[in-house]
Amino acid sequence: MTGSNRIVVTFGTFDVFHIGHLNILKRARLHGDTLIVGVSSDRLNIEKKDRAPVYPETERMEIVRQIKAVSDVFLEDSLELKGEYLRQFNADALVMGDDWEGKFDHFKEICDVIYLPRTEGISTTQTITKIKKYD
């Protein structure tokens, strides 16, 4: 008998990496055996959020790649390609934080879609604001 290899995919920017990011990656991994993370590109952030991330995509990818729960990373260069990415990686589950609740339900035809509660009290934006006050 061959062992199962349930593949979980998640997406995110993971800028100014913090405990909320670590928590979701650890919890996403518990939903399968392999965790593949799509890290959003600098170009995608500039297009969607009108600003570049603090850390460039190469560094954000390397930080996420080295997290124990993570098996592999790839660059997410288009929000519209999520379905293609899920098929390409043979995803059994898509895991996202519940700030995205309901937004990806249409992918249920490809794989399980699971939303996990966000870690309270921390975000990249809050952290940047806090650091600015140290000036």
Give every CB contact of residue 96 below 8 A, 6+ residues apart in sequence: 10, 11, 103, 104, 113, 114, 115, 116
Closer to ligand C2G at the Cβ: 92 or 104? 104
Quote the Cα angle for 122-46-121, to 5°: 5
Binding positions for ligand C2G, 71-90, rule CB under 6 A: 76, 79
Ramachandran angles phi, psi of 112, nearest 5°: -65, 145
Q: Report the residue number, 34 or 45, with the smaller CB distance to ligand C2G.
A: 45
Max Cα distance, the chain (Å): 60
- Please, what is the minimum distance in Å from the beta carbon of residue 78 to ligand C2G? 9
Site for ligand C2G in 8-47 (CB under 6 A): 11-15, 20-21, 24, 40
- One-letter amino acid for residue 8 of the chain: V
Which one of residues 61, 96, 111, 113 is an interface residue with ligand C2G (CB under 6 A)? 96
Residue with tokens 């603090």: 54
128 is a contact residue toward ligand C2G (CB under 6 A): no
Would you say how long the chain is, in residues? 135
Among 22, 54, 69, 122, binds ligand C2G (CB under 6 A): 122
Give contact residues for ligand C2G (rule: CB under 6 A).
11-15, 20-21, 24, 40, 76, 79, 96-97, 99, 118-119, 122-123
